[in-house]
Amino acid sequence: MNYATVIFIAGVALGAETYVLGPDSQPQAGVPQGKVTKHVLPPGKYYPGTPHNYSLYVPAQYDAAKPMPLMIFLDGSGSLSNTVRVPVVLDNLIAKGDLPPMIGIFVDPGVLPPAQVGTQSRFERVFEYDSLSDRYSRFLLEELLPEVGRAYNLTTDPNQRGISGVSTGAVGAFAAAWNRPDQFRRVLSFIGTFVAMKGADGLPALIRRTEPKPIRLFLQAGRNDHIVPAQPYGTFYGGSWPINNQLMIEALEFAGYDAKLVLGDEGHNMKHGAALMPEALRWLWRGYPEPITVREPAGKSREGWDPRGKVYATVAADQPWEAVGAEYGRITSVTANREGGVYFADDKGVYRTDAAGRAETFQAVTGVKGLSTGADGRLYASVPSRKQIVSWGPKGDRQFVTASVTAESIAVTAKGTVYFIDATSKSIGLVDAAGRQRLVKAGGDIAQPSAITLSPDQGMLQVADGQSRFSWSFQIGLDGALNHGEPFYRLEMPESGWMSGVSSVTEDTLGQVYFASPLGVQICEANGRVAMILNPPTYGPVTGVTFAGPKLNWLYVTQEGKLFRRPTKVRGAAAWDVQALPKPPL
């Protein structure tokens, strides 16, 4: 019997402890009282036809001249109830100086009213809260907060914004901060439903793989939540509430988060959570106004740390993304140059940076895609409007490579062989050093081939799929043919939509493959497993990725019209630097 089993069975056998509301949850004489008002948010675009009831708590200390910190409470009516008493707790903690004066926003899940007599309403709570997509966070940021902001001066500082949820609402609160850490950085989770209902059971694994985000989290759970003596591992089809909360805190601690889990003896109710509310809020806002920052895991400096597949074996927390140059048009492609910088293209032309990131226009040719630098130092590129692949020397001299193709992505070997994805036929073609073109992979197996890259030893060609979660690996034959293709790399998919959105790919000298995706840069070990996910520099998908720099140890990415880079602890592969590969981890 393991330790977790002992805890949960003991909780059932001994019965639940009695929890009572303490002094900070009781009205106190002489404490200034905030005002609570009720409101209705009209239907918007994220939950069409669905109004939302919400209430506002405005502290007695509100000063319209100063942007005010805020906390959002999902299932807001429950937090306002006499059994939880969040406004009373806020009054008392603000008066003591344990919390800054803040506005409380208590929002209930929406209910779509029936259109016909005798028909059922649509209850939105599960759709709003259980989903891991960014829909609910966008609802908060684009509909609810602007509505409240018309009447009150709200902060835009994510360090001064918290969000709280109960049960499924805890998943919603977590997802809002997880998707938008640039907007929310303090999370309260009570009896969180991190079980297999709409994907929340996958969060612990995702947290372990993903570069930590600047979020602080307080979790509460009950040992008897959906637990009875005959079923100590849970009565619900989705799994065990206490076990999955334990998995959450283990993942958060593994990744280095400032997080805390308090286990009580109650079931699926707020008796324990309500009694804990003052302590939870104090802990969540401790140290204010110091910002919440990312920290590397404590275990990293201790004996036994295993660096394999760890985010901080690849990058460092104190060396985040930095912007390179100005904002351009939508960047369509990026690749290293031999001078230590990068080439990149937008809708107006092709640019070149030096190793310091200073950019200049290289070619005033519009609509260029599929950039790739060869061992000869030439920049190879697709010009779709002309259905051509061309190359330019470092001084700008142009050479024709091949015609009659609309190439999506290009990879050039040390011997001058050019592989390309034909976007029209969804096939892969080859142009050898003598200029002869042939088909090496017909369309069909790969739903939407979107990008290609060579392994460091140039024995494999990796092919990203912009639709499927699986990207491919092909062995390159002596004649350049692509053989023994497999859907080798299994990537994490965006929560919403049906496209993987992978648009660029590169590889390091360890054989790890880097995929630009809506989730950030997904890094697969050489064995095909996703081990790391680097967060995007800003909110939104990463569309391009390459290694560059004099030592090929700077990772560059693109987002729309912006170029970013950060140093790494690994080196990238390049056509001019053929490297033998180590045996992959198995």
- Same domain? For 403 and 375 the reply is yes
Residue 48 lies inside a defined structural domain of this protein: yes
Both 337 and 368 in one domain: the answer is yes
Residue range 222-249: mean pLDDT, rounded: 96
Q: Could you tell me if 347 and 218 lie in one domain?
A: no
**pLDDT at residue 6 in the model:** 36
Model pLDDT, residue 536: 98
Residue 533 tokens read as 């996910």
User: Is residue 485 included in any domain, yes or no?
Assistant: yes
> Is there a domain that residue 199 lies in?
yes
Cβ-count burial 307-317 (b if 16+ within 10 Å, e if not): eebbbbbbbeb
The residue out of 253, 270, 295 marking a domain boundary is 295
DSSP strands (E only) in 154-235: 161-166, 186-190, 216-222
Q: Is the domain of 253 the same as that of 343?
A: no
574: in domain: no
Same domain? For 280 and 405 the reply is no
Q: Is beta strand 513-517 parallel, antiparallel or unpaired with respect to 504-507?
A: antiparallel
Pair 265, 319 in one domain = no
Question: What is the predicted pLDDT for the residue at 16?
Answer: 53
The mean pLDDT value for 549-570 works out to: 97
Residue 534 has pLDDT above 50, yes or no: yes
The CA distance from 354 to 550, in Å, is 10
Interval 394-421 mean pLDDT: 96
User: If pLDDT is split at 50, 70 and 90, which confidence band does 233 have?
Assistant: very high
Domain shared by 547 and 462, yes or no: yes
- Residue 524: phi, psi to the nearest 5? -100, 135
Q: Which residue has the tokens 């729309």?
A: 560
Residue 405 and residue 319 share a domain: yes
Does residue 31 fall inside a structural domain?
Answer: yes
How many CB atoms are located within 10 Å of the residue 245 CB?
Answer: 27
- The DSSP symbol for 303 reads T
Residue 228: give its domain's CATH number. Answer: 3.40.50.1820
- Averaged pLDDT, 527-551: 97
Q: Residues 319-329: pLDDT tens digits?
A: 999 999 889 99
Note the Cα 372 to chain centre separation in Å.
28
- Answer whether residue 240 shows pLDDT above 80: yes
What is the mean predicted confidence (pLDDT) over 221-243?
Answer: 95
In this prediction, residue 5 carries a pLDDT of: 36
DSSP per-residue codes, 14-75:
H-PPP----GGGS--TTPPPPEEEEEEEPP-SSSTT--EEEEEEE-TT--TTSPBPEEEEES
Which residue among 240, 261, 295 closes a domain? 295
pLDDT for residue 2: 39
CA angle at residue 537 from 536 to 542, to 5 degrees?
A: 45
Judgement on whether residues 464 and 401 belong to the same structural domain of the protein:
yes
Is 213 found in the same domain as 319? no
Range of the domain at 454: 311-567
Report the chain's mean pLDDT, rounded to a whole number.
95
Statement to judge: residues 260 and 384 lie in one domain: no
- Whether this prediction's pTM lies above 0.85 is answered by yes
Contact 240, 195 (CB under 8 A): yes
Q: Is 444 left (phi over 0), alpha (psi -120 to 50) or beta?
A: left
Domain of residue 440, CATH code: 2.120.10.30
* Cα 415 to the center of its chain, rounded Å: 38
Model confidence at 14: pLDDT above 50: no
Same domain, 345 and 238: no
Evaluate whether residue 423 is within a structural domain.
Answer: yes
Task: Provide mean pLDDT across the span 433-451.
Answer: 94
Q: Is 321 inside any structural domain?
A: yes
Give the pLDDT of residue 301.
82
Q: Look at residue 579 and tell me if it is in a domain.
A: no
pLDDT of residue 478 exceeding 80, the answer is yes
With beta carbons less than 8 A apart as the criterion, state whether 515 and 545 touch. yes
d(CA 8, CA 133): 32
Q: Which backbone phi and psi does 246 adopt, to 5 degrees?
A: -65, -40
Name the nearest CA neighbour of 85 among 26, 35, 4, 36: 26
What pLDDT score does 298 carry? 86
**How many structural domains does the chain have?**
2
What does residue 23 show for φ and ψ, rounded to 5 degrees? -60, -35
Domain finish residue from 246, 271, 295: 295
Going by the DSSP 8-state scheme, the letter that residue 110 receives in this structure is: P
